[in-house]
Structure 1
């Protein structure tokens, strides 16, 4: 399945081709070749922000893992529909759209889903 690598930091050079090869081997060893995987590299400031939002820990960390599921799929679909979060105003529009969709999905399924970008600004 797919492997997406995105580098949003500049401190460490990321060599995507060797990394992709190695991650395919790791996926094979773990028996999860059929799963999609996204790897996003961010700087300490951004990972600290994400860690504070999702784990309530106000420190940088080495790795955060999120499953691809309804929330990330909804976030991605909103991007495909043209929503962005480059500014607070754009984020607010996207957040409201995600929230509306996830609330309806939660109502239909009994899940408790929240937008991925909760607390982004």
Structure 2
């Protein structure tokens, strides 16, 4: 299956094909290509409700990650027995919240939408954030060299 991308919000227009391709590329870079991952884009109301239910914080946020495997050790990938266990989990992106934050900080929303699934994937696999920083830097350098940025 790979990347399941759902856009459940209508506030911000998204480049879904680009986001799906970027997340799929990140899965390959991280060596997670055999695992499925869900990316769900939501508005402020929905992410606030989810944040309140699971974290007891009644406020919108940028990203919420829900790992399929709760007991992973850092740096260790899961060893699933069945095909339906080839799942890392789901990442909810608060696209409306992110857009407002990016506007306030003069950042490109599409670049942020690429980075957040990367950092959330690292969380889902319990890798260190340092690893994510190195990978993000490498992707950024590649984009600069190819003139995409």
Q: Which has the higher strand share?
A: 2
Partner of 1:4: 4
TM-score normalised to the size of structure 1?
A: 0.53
Deviations 1:88-111 (A, max 9, x none): xxxxxxxxxxxxxxxxxxxxxxxx
Deviations 1:64-96 (A, max 9, x none): 011236xxx8xxxxxxxxxxxxxxxxxxxxxxx
Q: Does 1:59 align with 2:26?
A: no
CA displacement at 1:58 relative to structure 2? 0.9
Partner of 1:19: 19
SS in 1 for 2:63: coil
CA displacement at 1:16 relative to structure 2? 1.7
Flag structure 1 segments of 5+ consecutive residues without an equivalent. 74-121
Partner of 1:50: 50
CA displacement at 1:10 relative to structure 2? 1.0
Q: Which has the higher contact order (CA 8 A, sep 6+)?
A: 2
Partner of 2:35: 35
**Quick one: distance in 1 between partners of 2:59 and 2:13?**
23
The runs of at least 4 aligned residues of structure 1 exceeding 3 Å deviation read none
**Quick one: distance in 1 between partners of 2:30 and 2:20?**
15
Q: How many residues align?
A: 71
Question: Looking at CA atoms only, which structure, 1 or 2, has the larger radius of gyration?
Answer: 1
**Quick one: distance in 1 between partners of 2:61 and 2:23?**
21
**Quick one: distance in 2 between partners of 1:64 and 1:10?**
19
